[in-house]
Structure 1
Amino acid sequence: MKVLFVCMGNICRSPTAEAVFRKCAEKAGMDKRVTIDSAGTDRWHIGKAPDQRACLAAARRGYDLAALRARQVSVEDFQRFDLILAMDHDNLERLRALRPATCNAEVDLFLRRYRLGEDAVPDPYYGGEDGFEQVLDLIEDGVAQLLDEIRGRQ
């Protein structure tokens, strides 16, 4: 299974989801069975490290974002990945607009698919530290469900 997490700039939510999923997949012994990446729908931060606040919040929970660098979603991603998960409705619409007609990848909202009762991971960029903690809470819950789905497919 190849999974791509997508947010706007690829410096807060999607790299956090990538790091959380990567660590959880390793703990579950599934890291050899999954490919994990993240990207942004916009190009503002290409090549930049994740937001320092996201890195600090993640590090407090044992996740490492230091090696990650922002990139923009490409048309090729729709062929390379099985599942492309948007962090919010705006990015889902951007992905749908970019998606080629001959695409095999499933495109969905991360939380709508993996956390009942919620559908968007809020963007913490313009808020305080607590927003990054909330993002981690939501992503950790969703990733647990994603791992269960992958186990069920194999």
Structure 2
Amino acid sequence: MIKILFVCLGNICRSPMAEFVMKDMAQKQGLEEEVYIESAATSSEEIGNGMHSGTIAKLTEMKIPFTNRKARQLTKDDYENFDYILGMENKNLHAIRKIVGQDSERKISRLLDFSQTPRDIADPWYTGNFDVTYQDIVEGCKSFLQWIKERTNG
């Protein structure tokens, strides 16, 4: 089983959106038994809070199933428990490394590093644009899933 952890600043917008988008993609491709997916925050600001209403609205609009969840902070143990730790932007990668330490197993990347156009995913908490964030997350999840398939089947 491949274990994936999506990480953003607060774990209420981007990382839970990526968590549920990826779970939906995996389920539709019959891979739900092959991947385990969670999300977490680098900061403690939103711990215990539910998803942002903009994330809920976008997932609902796109008919992506989701469950109620509470934001949690990344821990040092997550590095050992997950195969991939995917941040949404370079600031997240820096914060992830501060929490988990050295990335000796090269598990830490940005989600869009697997796409044709590697870049940060903007935080809709600040931009207010959940549509662009969703499009970037879908692009990243598709690219990452394809990358995983190529590695495991090739």
The one-letter code sitting in structure 2 at the alignment partner of 1:133 is D
In structure 2, the residue matched to 1:120 is 120
**TM-score of the aligned structures, taking structure 1 as reference length:** 0.91
**2:134 paired with 1:136:** yes
The one-letter code sitting in structure 2 at the alignment partner of 1:3 is I
Say whether the 8 Å CA contact 2:77–2:100 is kept in structure 1: no
The one-letter code sitting in structure 2 at the alignment partner of 1:116 is Q
Alignment map for 1:1-154 (pairs within 5 Å) = 1-101=2-102, 104=105, 106-111=107-112, 113-128=113-128, 131-154=129-152
1:7-33 CA deviation, whole Å, 9 max, x = no partner?
A: 000000000000000000000001100
The one-letter code sitting in structure 1 at the alignment partner of 2:21 is V
- Aligned-partner Cα distance in 2 for 1:63–1:86: 21
- Structure 1 unaligned segments of length 5 or more: list them: none
The one-letter code sitting in structure 2 at the alignment partner of 1:16 is M
Runs (4 or more) in structure 1 with deviation over 4 Å come to none
The one-letter code sitting in structure 2 at the alignment partner of 1:35 is Y
Q: What is the CA-CA distance between 1:105 and the residue it aligns to? A: 5.6
- Structure 2 unaligned segments of length 5 or more: list them: none
Cα 1:107/1:62, change in 2 over 3 Å: same
Identity %: 32
Say whether the 8 Å CA contact 1:40–1:72 is kept in structure 2: yes
Q: What is the CA-CA distance between 1:121 and the residue it aligns to? A: 0.4
**TM-score of the aligned structures, taking structure 2 as reference length:** 0.91
Number of matched pairs: 151
Q: Please give the root-mean-square deviation of Cα atoms over the aligned residues, in Å.
A: 1.5
